[in-house]
Amino acid sequence: MNRRTVPFSFDNSRGQILAGLLDLPAGTPLFYGVYAPCFTCTRESHAAHKVCRALSERGVAMLRFDHTGLGASEGDFAETSFSTRIGDIISACDALVKAHGAPKLLFGHSISGTAALAAAAQIPFLQAVATLGAPADPRHVIRGLRKTNDIAIENGMAKMTITGRTYAVKEAMVDDMETYDMTRAMAAVDKRLFIFHAPHDAIVPFRNAEEIRARAVCESEIIPLSESATHLLERGDADAAFIAETLAEWFALHLE
């Protein structure tokens, strides 16, 4: 049987159906994992597709999904927040438990990497968490947008311009991102932590990886990608393969 990708949809905690894809390896999976795409990315983004495909080629079954209000998922993105993103990640893991088995790996890209760190303590069956280009704290995202004048708040709504596209969200999302206590969340993470980051990331600077490592109380490691790597892995086939191989080698020695 060849490697294949099949639809996998599930309900979030608010009763909305989230659209996912399950990348399955040839033969029986070694274990399952969940991949959460970046802030406004979908399950079909460059990084999601490349990383999950690379992991499936190494025997890992990976669920990648569209967050609430993005891609083919139900809901209104404007009504979401950092906390609802955490909830979506937990729902994805719970759905895999019911359908196939407890995921051992949680992988989050960009702000979803930050959300994965916040969610990890609430997902006891995980063995490892991996982040890719993650901000150390969600408030860093808002500060960055304010610095470049890419956010405007008026009448309870915030317009954010991200990679050239403008998204309208409730001001409550901004408030949630600026007040979420990541220090407290990180103190509860007891999984193995892999911090992948492009050395010259133009969107989330590399110092964020160093801040995540400094805050971690669990066993953790910063793993730089290639010098040419970008935040979104647009040309990152080799980087995706490197990420997958790094994780596969660790699980080969530590899989429970």
**Residue 142 lies inside a defined structural domain of this protein:** no
Q: Return d(Cα 244, Cα 49) in angstroms, integer.
A: 12
Q: Which two tokens stand for residue 98?
A: 């019911």
Domain coverage including residue 189: 4-136+181-254
Q: Pairing state of beta strands 17-18 and 151-154?
A: unpaired
Strands across the sheet with 151-154, in order? 151-154, 157-162, 165-170
How many domains in the chain?
A: 1
- Does residue 2 have a pLDDT over 80? no
The answer to whether residue 156 sits within a structural domain is no
Nearest by Cα to 218 from 254, 192, 256, 181: 192
In this structure, is residue 154 part of a structural domain?
no
**Residue 83 counted as domain residue:** yes
155 in a structural domain? no
Q: Does residue 1 carry a pLDDT above 70?
A: no
The pLDDT, as a whole number, for residue 117 is 98
Determine, yes or no, domain membership for 131: yes
The CATH number of the domain holding residue 128 is 3.40.50.1820
pLDDT digits (tens, 9 = 90+) for 79-134: 999 999 999 999 999 999 999 999 999 999 999 999 999 999 999 999 999 999 99
Give the model's pLDDT for residue 3: 85
Query: In this structure, is residue 223 part of a structural domain?
Result: yes
Does the residue 167 lie in any domain?
Answer: no
Residues 51-73 pLDDT 10s: 999 999 999 999 999 999 999 99
Residues 203, 216, 80: CA angle, nearest 5 degrees: 50
